[in-house]
Amino acid sequence: MKSIFSSFKQKLILKDVFTVVSNKSNKMFCEIMKWYEEGDEDAILTLNPDYTELPDLPENVKHLNLTNTNIDMLTNLPPNLESLVAMNSKLSEIKSLPPSLTLLNIGNTFVKFLPELPQKLEILVVTNNGMEYMPKMIHTNLRILLCGYNYMEIMPELPDTLETLDCTGCAYLSTFVRFPLNVHTFERDFTMFAIKEDKTMKELNNIMARFEL
């Protein structure tokens, strides 16, 4: 890709900061669309940290990296988005999440409340967000939940698909409404209880490595 974008390890890096416009005829939108049509549809779109608003994006964007950006609100996410990483950003509010989403990592942000979680969601990272309430999760396919260093007192019902649960540093957490049956690893108060080999965390680490520049 020339001019605006450069690709590296299947990453599409949006280098320059563009003014957000209300229509989809702008140069940035067209070039992103062209890149996905001609390249790898599983590429990760990474925005420059200087972005303060989410620009219009093509519907076929599947993986979005907003790490370290100044974007504080997400309203219109691509409808086919599968993974969203916005850790260490200024994000404070997410209006809605697309039903296709399987991975959401918003650790160390200002998001204290989440909209309804998609049924397909498998990985949720909300570590160190100051959350007082966890969203409803029983209807999801959640396998990994990292929610340490938050302020909730009650953990709502968790699905039996859950394999890894980390709530280290949740000093006020005293009640689990329903503990899942298939948890491999449960970490609480800096103590890890490894019930059997935890392959899910290895998988998460491999996935997150793709989002690193």
**Per-residue confidence in pLDDT tens, the chain, 213 aa:** 333 333 333 455 554 444 333 344 455 566 666 665 555 667 788 888 888 898 888 888 889 999 999 999 999 899 999 999 999 999 999 999 999 999 999 999 999 999 999 999 999 999 999 999 999 999 999 999 999 999 999 999 999 999 889 998 898 988 888 888 778 777 776 444 444 445 566 666 777 777 765
How does DSSP assign 100-165, residue by residue?
T--EEE-TTSS-----PPPTT--EEE-TTS--SSPPP-TTS---EEE--S---SEE----TT--EE
Map residue 198 onto helix, strand or coil: coil
Q: For residue 20, what pLDDT is reported?
A: 37
What was the pLDDT predicted at 41? 63
pLDDT of residue 179: 82
According to the model, what pLDDT value does residue 22 have? 33
Q: How far is CA 157 from CA 58, 197, 211, in A?
A: 35, 24, 30
C-beta atoms surrounding 201 within 10 Å = 16
121 CB neighbour count, 10 Å cutoff = 23
Per-residue pLDDT, 33: 62
Contact between 52 and 31 (Cβ < 8 Å): no
Q: What is the pLDDT of residue 78?
A: 92
Rounded (10°) CA dihedral 21, 23, 24, 29 = 0
Q: What is the reported pLDDT for 9?
A: 36
pLDDT of residue 58: 82
